[in-house]
Amino acid sequence: MFDNPNIGILGLGHVGLPTALGLADIGWNVIGADDLKSKAQDIANGDAPFYEPGLSEMLIKNINSGRFSVASSVEEAIDASDVIFVCVGTPQNDDGSADLSQIENAGRTIAQNSNTNKLVVEKSTTPVSTSLRIKDTLRRYAKENVEFEVAVNPEFLREGTGLYDFFNPDRIVLGVESEAAKNTLLQIYLPLLDQTNPSDISDKEIYEAKSNDKFVITDVNTAELIKHASNSFLATKISFINLVADICEKSGSDVSKVAKGMGLDPRIGSSFLQAGLGFGGYCLPKDIKAFTKIGEDLGVDMSFFREVDNVNIRRVDQIIDKLKGKLWVLRDKTIAVWGIAFKPGTDDIRESPAMALIEKLIEEEVKLNLHDPKAMEEFKRTSLSEYSNIEYFTDPIDSSNNVDAIIIATDWPEFKSVDYKNIKDAMQYPFVLDARNLLNPVEMLDMGFDYIGVGRYS
């Protein structure tokens, strides 16, 4: 379809920026654009707009190599590209469905500003059949004699390991409608798998790439479903183990041992079997809701997935109940919350269970001592930061002075190496509520802490 395609990336967020830099790093010429001008300008200046391990270095490296640049406008990036990856946001509507307005806007802008044929690749997570709507939009607004192909290439990177995941994909899903689109995408991804320089790729290599196990080549609807089904399955695993944790608590068993015993079975696997405060972030909560909604719209009974989400939503209340069970009235108590990000390795607080927990603690009128290694600045930009009784601490140890409890809300590994012996006496009451099962209960009890985890005897 294109011999040596120029690649455009629309949306330089948590998916778009690592993707753009990764593709530039393997040898492609990539031009990125974001309709948030200040963000685009920061990136053009070499300032990564969010924290992701290795991202700043990768940004500088690829700006300096000349293979990554940021367009001064979305229109400029469209005009300069042959293959355009759409990486814009797909937030959630009030009814749980995906808000596809950014996708529609991107499609319309591409059509109105394209003077040559393009392959438009949907990378954002979208409900089944969205790419067909994009295709309609492109046709409706296309200029004369300009043709578009649409493909779906869902993204599976995880925040916190975004660049690692780009360079080490466990699968690359390509939903295509033609041989030409398939070959173009195989060509783009080949250098990632066999270290070939883009200019050295032969037709034979592209042909042979089809049999590489990493590629899953499907129609466009199936590709969209693979992404929604994958995330809904991961969410299901987490809610599953959280329900098992509830049974463990009632029966005096240990969910971490149950998870270990289950996870060693290769049919089950050990990942996503960590009981705790539940799933969060920009993917699982909204994707399971969108998957449920699209299923219901298509007439399928999705009550199973609704319950997976409900189990998750209840986790925060359960932690508040545990806190009240220990401290009784919460008003005016001082609580240290360690962790605001939805997971370690990122400063992303979107749909973070820790944020939901902090909101409930504010409703209870506690005094909050907050600490997160990376996400404190993000928190300060939210309306929750308007609560008058918050103090911020760059050091978790300082945050524990005179508190009635510490809650571990994000499993940052550095919380494991805190010198707990040293902080115990400084606390008003040495209670640690470990909502992520990060610490060893026996060690904590031995040190004299009142310690509660999730689904583990204490």
Regarding 172 and contact with ligand NAD (CB under 6 A), the answer is: no
Considering only CA atoms, which of 397, 276, 280 is closest in space to residue 341?
Answer: 280
Helix 55-64 / helix 16-25 crossing angle, nearest 10 deg: 50
Taking the C-alpha atoms of residue 36 and residue 190, their distance in angstroms, rounded to an integer, is: 31
Taking the C-alpha atoms of residue 402 and residue 333, their distance in angstroms, rounded to an integer, is: 10
CB of 228 to ligand NAD, least distance (A): 10
Query: How many of the other CB atoms lie within 10 Å of CB of 68?
Result: 27
The one among 7, 26, 44, 74 contacting ligand NAD by CB under 6 A: 74
Taking the C-alpha atoms of residue 131 and residue 151, their distance in angstroms, rounded to an integer, is: 7
The one among 225, 259, 283, 375 contacting ligand NAD by CB under 6 A: 283
The one among 125, 130, 137, 187 contacting ligand NAD by CB under 6 A: 125
CB of 188 to ligand NAD, least distance (A): 18
Regarding 52 and contact with ligand NAD (CB under 6 A), the answer is: no
* Closer residue to ligand NAD, CB minimum distance, 159 or 347: 159
Regarding 87 and contact with ligand NAD (CB under 6 A), the answer is: yes
What is the sign, positive or negative, of the torsion defined by CA atoms of 147, 74, 152, 285?
Answer: negative
Regarding 36 and contact with ligand NAD (CB under 6 A), the answer is: yes
The one among 68, 215, 282, 412 contacting ligand NAD by CB under 6 A: 282
| Active-site pick, 9, 185, 283, 376 | 283
Q: Which stretch binds ligand NAD (CB under 6 A): 151-159, 238-246, 326-334, 423-431?
A: 151-159
Regarding 121 and contact with ligand NAD (CB under 6 A), the answer is: no
Taking the C-alpha atoms of residue 331 and residue 140, their distance in angstroms, rounded to an integer, is: 58
Q: What's 10's DSSP letter?
A: E
Catalytic residue check, 248:
no
Regarding 16 and contact with ligand NAD (CB under 6 A), the answer is: yes
Regarding 89 and contact with ligand NAD (CB under 6 A), the answer is: yes
Taking the C-alpha atoms of residue 436 and residue 278, their distance in angstroms, rounded to an integer, is: 9
Query: How many of the other CB atoms lie within 10 Å of CB of 401?
Result: 14
DSSP β-bridge partners for residue 405: 335
Regarding 33 and contact with ligand NAD (CB under 6 A), the answer is: yes
CB of 48 to ligand NAD, least distance (A): 12
DSSP string, 83-119: EEEE-----B-TTS-B--HHHHHHHHHHHHH-SS-EE
Residue least distant from ligand NAD (Cβ): 13
CB of 172 to ligand NAD, least distance (A): 13
In the complex, the residues that contact ligand NAD under the rule CB under 6 A are 10-16, 33-36, 39, 74, 87-90, 102, 105-106, 109, 124-125, 155, 157, 159, 282-283
Catalytic (active-site) positions? 283
